[in-house]
Amino acid sequence: MPRQVDHDQRRRQIAEAVWRLATRGGLEDVTLRQVAAEAGVSARLLQYYFGTREQLLLGALEILNDDAEQRARERLAMLGDAPGMHAIVRGVLLELLPLDEERRNRHLVYAAYFVRFLTDPALAKVAHDAPRALENLVADLIARGQELDQVPQDINAAAEAVFLVAGAEGVQSSVLLRQRSAEDAVAMIDHQLARVFTTTNCE
Amino acid sequence: MPRQVDHDQRRRQIAEAVWRLATRGGLEDVTLRQVAAEAGVSARLLQYYFGTREQLLLGALEILNDDAEQRARERLAMLGDAPGMHAIVRGVLLELLPLDEERRNRHLVYAAYFVRFLTDPALAKVAHDAPRALENLVADLIARGQELDQVPQDINAAAEAVFLVAGAEGVQSSVLLRQRSAEDAVAMIDHQLARVFTTTNCE
DNA sequence: CTGTTTGTGGTTCGATCGCACCATAACATC
DNA sequence: GATGTTATGGTGCGATCGAACCACAAACAG
């Protein structure tokens, strides 16, 4: 059914226009007319594919999330066959950093949506589970590293996982604001990872 | 000169209305009419005290920053005479967390402004230096803790400072989104502080 | 061949936007 | 007491907003 492909491609084309406008100027610049102009389609098409403006914002966010998940999977798969806990955790954390234009724009869009997550239940539901899931994943990986003697036993896996994810999100902001380079951010993450992933506790 | 006081009070009254509207719905809800209604004044007054809408947003942010700095000073002064490095760093980091309604709203307003910081030079200038200054302050305090043997020598003061601040900012987001309680966030900070501020490296 | 669904453009409407403009108290200065 | 400055309310205008509506082409169904 080639129709379905066209349908999704159109929605993606429009969603990308929403993202571009949101990264500049925030959600208030995401007006139906502006999106239509940016996507190179008529305003009527936005109504046809998404309906109201609220649904357009919601739909664009869903597509963005699907993208993020797929890209993350691809990059993690690129680590090879037996990556080791350290490399996997590193890959997960680096996914939170705006290391390329794609991730940078994605996190900017999230920032533009942020305040809405508190008041709009529909939006909140879309972006609710991700961070917790990440923390649990990292905590699990660290705990398995302890079983394999790659991580000291006196490390609190859950606490460190929360802190690592939070730290990554924190530097993310400063990189987005261009107050810090992406390389510095990665170095910072690696410094903390080196502390956790050490077979000998006091070297 | 009681006139001056009235003038600043009026500006503050209007700025608070801007904050309240920004915390719900983001900056797109901060329209002149809405602000006027929320502040209980006529729309004409906004023009008189701030000028254009752009200047209103800028002015409200400046007042918010002044507030934040003053409150932070007050709380740090409340620590007593000889607080010790650990307590000071803790106080600085906790200032980044939305532990009460005031700080919660403040950080929500920052979140609403976030995307604008990238494209609007005037706004960017207002909120540019704060995070770097915090990192340097924390790094300095940790380094002085090393001189006083309150912090192990093999701790990288600068690196830990950056990540502590970043971690605080990261959990801040999750607390704002009500995905984590304020108490959990404080516990996380304390867990990391306990790691840094230890006289004996391997206990 | 005819009717229905799907995709697209254009137009219009009522509401709201930012903001300029006008009127007028209250107060200060001389 | 005249005059100018400061502080306030009200009103109107052009632009833009979201969204409903209309027209039509293409594909598909029966």
Domain harbouring A119, CATH code: 1.10.357
Which residue range forms the structural domain that includes residue B141?
A: 83-203
Assess whether B5 and B60 both reside in one domain: yes
The domain boundary, picked from A11, A28, A63, lies at A63
Count how many domains chain A has: 2
Out of A117, A167, A177, name the one closest to residue B163 (CB): A167
Distance of alpha carbon A8 from the chain centroid: 21
Identify the burial level of A91 via C-beta atoms within 10 angstroms of its C-beta, where 0-12 means exposed, 13-18 middle and 19 or more buried: middle
What is residue A203's predicted lDDT score, i.e. its pLDDT?
40
- Distance, angstroms, CA B162 to C1' C20? 49
Measured CA to CA, the distance from residue A83 to residue B44 in angstroms comes to 64
What is residue A2's predicted lDDT score, i.e. its pLDDT?
39
Chain A and chain B share a number of CB contacts under 8 A equal to 119
CATH code of the domain containing B7: 1.10.10.60
What is residue B8's predicted lDDT score, i.e. its pLDDT?
82
Residue B174 lies in a domain: yes
Residue A149 token pair: 């003697």
Assess whether A138 and A192 both reside in one domain: yes
Residue A150 lies in a domain: yes
Assess whether B55 and B13 both reside in one domain: yes
Is B179's CB within 8 Å of A128's CB?
A: yes
Count of residues making up chain B: 203
Assess whether A163 and A203 both reside in one domain: yes
Q: Does residue A5 surpass a pLDDT of 80?
A: no
Rg of the Cα atoms in chain B: 20
* Alpha carbon of A59: minimum distance to chain B alpha carbons (Å): 18
Side-chain-side CA neighbours of A132 within 13 Å: the count stands at: 8
Residue B116 lies in a domain: yes
- Distance, angstroms, CA B46 to C1' D8? 11
Q: Which residues from B are below 8 Å from A174, CB to CB?
A: 131, 166
Assess whether B96 and B168 both reside in one domain: yes
Assess whether B96 and B62 both reside in one domain: no
pLDDT below 70 — which residues of chain B? 1-5, 199-203
The chain-wide mean pLDDT, for chain A, equals 91
pLDDT tens, residue by residue, A106-146:
999 999 999 999 999 999 988 877 888 899 999 999 999 99
Closest CA to A49 of A88, A92, A16: A16
What is residue A1's predicted lDDT score, i.e. its pLDDT?
38
Out of A27, A163, A174, name the one closest to residue B26 (CB): A27
Residue B144 lies in a domain: yes
Side-chain-side CA neighbours of A142 within 13 Å: the count stands at: 30
Assess whether A50 and A119 both reside in one domain: no
Phi-psi region of B25 (alpha: psi -120 to 50; beta: other; left: phi over 0): left
pLDDT tens, residue by residue, B78-96:
988 788 899 999 999 999 9
What is residue B88's predicted lDDT score, i.e. its pLDDT?
93
Assess whether A38 and A98 both reside in one domain: no
Out of B22, B163, B202, name the one closest to residue A192 (CB): B163
Q: Where are the alpha helices (DSSP H) in chain A?
A: 2-23, 32-39, 43-50, 53-77, 84-94, 101-119, 121-126, 130-147, 157-176, 182-196
What is residue B2's predicted lDDT score, i.e. its pLDDT?
37
Assess whether B90 and B178 both reside in one domain: yes
What is residue B80's predicted lDDT score, i.e. its pLDDT?
81
CB neighbourhood size of A177 (10 A): 16
CB neighbourhood size of A137 (10 A): 15
The domain boundary, picked from B66, B100, B117, lies at B66
pLDDT tens, residue by residue, A31-82:
999 999 999 999 999 999 999 999 999 999 999 999 999 999 999 999 888 8
Q: What is the largest CA-CA distance in chain A?
A: 65
Residue whose CA lies closest to nucleotide D27 C1': A3
Residue A41 CB lies within 7 Å of the nucleic strand C:
yes
Residue B12 CB lies within 7 Å of the nucleic strand D:
no
What is residue A4's predicted lDDT score, i.e. its pLDDT?
52
